[in-house]
Amino acid sequence: MRTNERALLVRHEEAERLETLGVTLYADHDMTGGALSGNRAYLPAGTDGPPPHYHRTSAELFYLLGGALRVLAGEEIVVLGEGDFLLIPPCLPHAWAAPDDAAADVLVLFTPGIERFEYFRLGDRIRKGEASPAEILDTQERYDNHFVDSPIWRRDRHADSRSPLDPDTHRAEFLAADVFRATGESFGGGE
């Protein structure tokens, strides 16, 4: 990791916003000398974030700015409230969603930094119907975003009590997930 010689300042009004995802992009790995990647995510009440996944090389930090957030952290579900801090270490499966009765406004940091801007832009294109959800699966290594099945998360989010899914069934369900459905809606709010 190289050390930058200057401070990095990203003004809120100058940050890129991906309205279909409710994500504001602040700093990617290349902007920080690999130190971190950071974004802000806003999820309306009852909205799922990404499906269960893990990162091999980076820890992911959640700091809840407002509202509430349900988070899968390995084999447990934790609920974050405003001001709570949660660190997910590398290789620990996780997912998150806003509960039905509260929106979530969350600062998300990865350290060391990994390429996130293009990952989120791909998600934005998928939500707009300009790309296929299969492209996310094809870029798991590039973006260090490895999707997994989690019966605990399925049960928590959808009252789904099936045993772990085989890889083909999991891939099919992943590709059909609501979070990747094309939509013209903007998440807005929260900022």
Kindly state whether residue 99 falls inside one of the protein's structural domains: yes
Alpha-carbon gap, residue 81 to 103, rounded angstroms? 11
Whether 189 is covered by a domain: the verdict is: no
Query: What are the distances in angstroms from CA 93 to CA 19, 111, 147, 180?
Result: 26, 16, 8, 19
pLDDT at 158 (0 to 100): 83
Read off the CATH number of the domain in which 46 is found: 2.60.120.10
Q: What is the model's pLDDT at position 190?
A: 53
pLDDT of amino acid 139: 95
Q: Is residue 24 part of a domain?
A: yes
> 75 lies in which domain range?
12-176
d(CA 108, CA 63): 7
Q: How many domains does the chain have?
A: 1
DSSP 8-class letter at 165: P
Tell me, yes or no, whether 188 lies in a domain.
no
Tens of pLDDT along the chain (191 residues) come to 455 678 999 999 999 999 999 999 999 999 999 999 999 999 999 999 999 999 999 999 999 999 999 999 999 999 999 999 999 999 999 999 999 999 999 999 999 999 999 999 999 999 999 999 999 999 999 999 999 999 999 999 887 777 777 888 877 777 777 766 666 555 555 54
Let me know if residue 105 belongs to a domain.
Answer: yes
SS3 annotation, 88-124: ECCCCCEEEECCCCCCEEEEEEEECCCCCHHHHHHHH
pLDDT value for 111: 98
pLDDT value, residue 176: 74
1 falls within a domain: no
Give a yes or no: residue 93 inside a domain.
yes
**Omega within 30 of 0 (cis) for the link into 90:** no
Tokens coding 83: 């001001």
Q: Which residues of 118-149 are buried (b: 16+ CB within 10 A; e: fewer)?
A: ebbbbbbbbbeeebebeebeeeeeebbbebbb
**Single-letter code of the amino acid located at 153:** W
182 in a domain, yes or no?
A: no
